[in-house]
Structure 1
Amino acid sequence: MKQIVAVVKPYLTQSVLDSMRRAPLEALSVTEVKGFGRQKSYLDQYQDREYAEAFLPKVEITMWVEDSRVEEVLQKVIKAARSGRMGDGKVFVMPVTSFI
C-alpha cells in the first residue's frame, strides 16, 4: 500500500476531489495547511515585511492506495491539479508499512 499526499491550491481542491470520486482509494483525508515552495522568492519581492514572511494557503489531500493502482490515481491527481502556474503544489508517494 502507498500513501499519496497532494498539496494543492485551495481553488483546485474540488477539482481533485471530483476526480477521485471513482478512483480506487482505500481512504482519503483533506486538511487545510499553509506553506511555501519555490514561489518563496516571489513572496520576497514584496517590500512590506508582513508579506515577505507570509505562508500561502494550501490544501493537503492524503490518499491511501493499493500498490497496483498508484499510477492511475497519480495521473488523475496531476490532471486535476495542474494549472501550469507557479505554486500548483506537490505530490508525494510514500510506502505504508502497516496500519490498524
Structure 2
Amino acid sequence: MVKVIYLLLCVLGFLLPYSQFVPFILEHGLDIKLFFEQLFANRISGFFGMDVIVSSLVLWTFVFWEGTRLKMQNLWVYIACNLLVGVSLGLPLFLLMRERQLEQQAETLGY
C-alpha cells in the first residue's frame, strides 16, 4: 500500500510543478535570469525558494547515506529528478525504490 502512495506522490510531484513550469518555458524560454528574478520576487516566494533549496540539500544527503547503506544502485537518478523537477519527485521516487530495496533484502534473508 505504501508503494502505491509513493507512486501517486511521484505522479503529483511531477505534474503539479510542471503545470507551472511548462507555461513559463513556453512564454519565456529557458530564461534563467528571469526564472530567479521571479523565484525571489518577494519575501514569500523567496521563503519557498530557500525552503526548496535546503530541502534539496537534505534530500541529496539522505539519498547518499541511506542509498549507500542499503546498497541501492543508480543514486544519481534521484538527484537528477530533484534537479529536473524538484523534491516533489525526487523524494517520493527515492522512498518508493527504497521500499522495493528493503522488500528485496527481506526476501533474500527469508523474512
- What TM-score results when the alignment is normalised by the length of structure 2? 0.24
Q: More helix per residue: 1 or 2? A: 2
Q: More strand per residue: 1 or 2? A: 1
